[in-house]
């Protein structure tokens, strides 16, 4: 339990939450591991949980052809992913694949919202951090988009 | 003061009660922009969250080796400028008036005050921005796929 709390404390998404909220979230998290190359989240399917990366790196890969994907962003320990899908209830826009062996926590969607619902301040803290995380994600995909646009124009 | 209905039309305030809208009206400002007028310059510190009340705005970016390109066209109900207010980072794209347009805006201090002072308003506002971000990220990722295919021809 303590280890889970420490992982959550290091996670961007939960940084603004007080100790009691972290403990409530930690209680609901499952610890998982994935090998290099293992797919953790699949593009086109809704995320079933918020994933919190404890160690290692993951790539966010957008499928562009039947057997070809492009890395649009890379996350490391402390990152949370599956966030956009959990927030709007739609499918994942990228697959998330372990770049290295990884350890992560999985907080099911229902439990994530249950923690947020316990106190409007928790919800507020999560929303503020979500915006920062999404802002970075949007900048990363925009950079990739500009690269392709430059290629086309040239 | 800005009309309540003008704010209600914006996607950010869809879930707001009349009372909450009135709190926004107190801090919001408005103005008209003629065709081609620069509203936000890429690389500058963003100081306002803008809402398009009427007309259209063009989002442009500097593309390496190609100059300035339009990457998105926004219309009434859309908003922009929020990323810089949230991240305190420079603006990532320029925005110009495409034809005459009428904009509403909230400046950085007022935005921070709104979010800090009233939790229900703050949470509704943040959630609405989050949902728009989700949509923008999905749109951009989808464009990567089409641009990738085009770049192969």
On whether any CB of chain A is under 8 Å from the CB of B143, the answer is: yes
CA of B18 to nearest chain A CA: how many angstroms apart?
A: 21
- Backbone φ and ψ for B61, nearest 5 degrees, come out as -140, 155
B57's enclosing H/E stretch is strand B48-63
Q: Give CA separation, A11 vs A77, B11, B15, in Å.
A: 8, 30, 30
Fold of B4-107: Jelly Rolls (2.60.120)
- Give the separation between CA A149 and CA B17, rounded to whole angstroms: 42
Mutate to test the interface with A, among B114, B140, B143 (most CBs of A within 10 A): B140
Mean pLDDT over B4-18 rounds to 83
B42-82 per-position pLDDT tens digit: 888 888 999 998 999 999 887 766 678 788 899 998 999 88
**A93/B137 touch (CB, cutoff 8 Å), yes or no:** yes
The backbone region for A37, taken as left when phi is positive above 0, alpha when psi lies in -120 to 50, beta otherwise, is: left
On whether any CB of chain A is under 8 Å from the CB of B116, the answer is: no
B115-132 per-position pLDDT tens digit: 888 888 889 889 989 998
Q: Which residue has the tokens 């979230």?
A: A25
B31-47 per-position pLDDT tens digit: 999 999 999 998 888 88
Mutate to test the interface with B, among A43, A59, A64, A129 (most CBs of B within 10 A): A64
Taking each helix axis from N to C end, the angle separating B108-117 and B18-27, rounded to the nearest 10 degrees, works out to 150
- DSSP string for residues in A43-62: TTSB-SEEEEEEESEEEEEE
Q: What angle do CA A45, A47, A48 make, to 5 degrees?
A: 120
B18-31 per-position pLDDT tens digit: 888 888 888 889 99
Fold of A2-153: Jelly Rolls (2.60.120)
Contact between A118 and B114 under an 8 Å Cβ cutoff? The reply is no
Write out residues in chain A with pLDDT < 70, as ranges. Answer: 153-154
DSSP A154: -
Q: Nearest by CB to A131, which of B64, B66, B86?
A: B86
- Give the separation between CA B12 and CA B99, rounded to whole angstroms: 23
CA A40 to chain centre: 11
Give the start-to-end residue ranges of the domains of chain A. Answer: 2-153
**A120/B126 touch (CB, cutoff 8 Å), yes or no:** no
**How far separated are the first and last CA of chain B, in Å rounded?**
53
- Residue A61 pLDDT: 92
Q: Give CA separation, B140 vs A72, A138, A149, in Å.
A: 10, 8, 12
- Residue B1 pLDDT: 66
Residue B11 pLDDT grade (very low, low, confident, very high; cuts 50, 70, 90)? confident
Task: Give the pair of three-digit tokens for residue B81.
Answer: 């400028």
pTM of the predicted protein model: 0.84
**B144/A148 touch (CB, cutoff 8 Å), yes or no:** yes
Q: Looking at the predicted complex, does its ipTM rise above 0.90?
A: no
Contact between A60 and A75 under an 8 Å Cβ cutoff? The reply is yes
- Residue B133 pLDDT: 87
CA of B118 to nearest chain A CA: how many angstroms apart?
A: 11
On whether any CB of chain A is under 8 Å from the CB of B130, the answer is: yes
- Give the separation between CA B37 and CA B52, rounded to whole angstroms: 14
The percentage of residues in chain B with a pLDDT greater than 90, rounded to a whole number, is 25
- DSSP string for residues in A8-35: HHTSGGGTTS-HHHHHHHHHH-EEEEE-
Contact between A87 and A60 under an 8 Å Cβ cutoff? The reply is no
- Residue A77 pLDDT: 94
Q: Nearest by CB to B123, which of A72, A123, A136?
A: A123
Q: Give CA separation, A130 vs B49, B52, B60, B111, B145, in Å.
A: 18, 24, 26, 17, 25
- 3-state DSSP assignment of residue A3: helix
- DSSP string for residues in A91-125: B-SSEEEESS-EEEEEEEHHHHHHHHHT-HHHHHH
């Amino acid at each position: 339990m303590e280890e889970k709390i420490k992982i959550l404390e290091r996670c961007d998404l939960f940084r603004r939450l007080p100790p009691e909220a972290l403990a409530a979230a930690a209680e609901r998290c499952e610890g998982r591991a994935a090998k290099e190359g293992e797919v953790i989240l699949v593009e086109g399917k809704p995320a079933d949980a918020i994933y919190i990366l404890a160690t290692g790196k993951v790539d966010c890969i957008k499928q562009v052809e039947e057997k070809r994907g492009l890395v649009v962003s890379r996350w490391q320990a402390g990152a949370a992913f599956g966030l956009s899908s959990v927030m709007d209830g739609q499918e994942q826009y990228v697959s998330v694949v372990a770049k290295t062996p990884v350890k992560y926590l999985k907080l099911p969607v229902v439990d994530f919202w249950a923690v947020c619902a316990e106190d409007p301040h928790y919800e507020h803290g999560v929303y503020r951090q979500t915006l920062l995380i999404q802002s970075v994600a949007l900048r990363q995909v925009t950079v990739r988009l500009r690269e392709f646009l430059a290629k086309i124009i040239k | 003061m800005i009309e309540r209905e003008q704010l209600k039309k914006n996607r950010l305030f869809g879930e707001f009660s009349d009372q909450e809208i009135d709190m926004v009206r107190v801090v919001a400002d408005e103005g008209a922009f003629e065709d081609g007028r620069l509203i936000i310059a890429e690389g500058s510190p963003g100081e306002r969250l803008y809402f398009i009340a009427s007309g259209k705005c063009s989002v442009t970016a500097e593309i390496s080796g190609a100059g300035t390109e339009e990457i998105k066209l926004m219309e009434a109900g859309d908003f922009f400028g929020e990323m810089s207010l949230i991240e305190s980072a420079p603006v990532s794209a320029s925005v110009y008036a495409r034809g005459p347009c009428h904009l509403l805006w909230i400046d950085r201090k007022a935005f921070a005050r709104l979010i800090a002072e009233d939790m229900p308003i703050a949470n509704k506002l943040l959630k609405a921005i989050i949902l728009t971000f989700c949509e923008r990220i999905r749109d951009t990722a989808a464009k990567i796929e089409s641009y990738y295919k085009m770049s192969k021809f």
